[in-house]
Amino acid sequence: MNLGTIGRSPEGLRIFEMGAKFCKEQEAKKAAAVKAERKKLARRMSRQKRAVDKAWAKEMAKPENWMGPVATIIAEVAESCGLTVDEIKSHRRFKTIAKARLEIYYRCAMETGATFVLIGKSTNRDHSTVIHGIRHYAERTGLPLPGGMQ
């Protein structure tokens, strides 16, 4: 059979269809292999991300890494009010201690941009107490609320 006429004959058409079918099967196998490889890579990246997140969380759990500026403000306010840091972190509700805490909440939110949870942890209080304290302090002193608060 002549190569020029093979494409036009029924046999040539069958060969062409078989070739097309073979190509589709190969493409499907490649696509499945690529999909499986992507899945493996995603799992590996997820494990690596979790490992990085754990390492970051472990590093951030160290007080010197997340309480630096907040601890400085606590010490400054305690000194200016004639209190100790332990008194501010205590559960006492004396007026002088409570007022100092309100100032700490406000200054930490304004100057450091620390989260309410972080400020609360550094003073042994709940984040909602910090939010209330910031609003109360701003209202009493006539100062603006920190960005993002209404």
Chain segment 34-55, per-residue pLDDT in tens: 888 888 888 888 777 777 777 7
Chain segment 73-130, per-residue pLDDT in tens: 999 999 999 999 999 999 999 999 999 999 999 999 998 888 898 899 889 999 999 9
Q: Which two tokens stand for residue 97?
A: 């201690």
Provide the pLDDT for residue 62: 61
Q: Which fold has domain 64-141?
A: Chromosomal Replication Initiator Protein Dnaa; Chain: A; (1.10.1750)
Query: Is the pLDDT confidence value at 6 over 70?
Result: no
Query: Is the pLDDT confidence value at 1 over 60?
Result: no
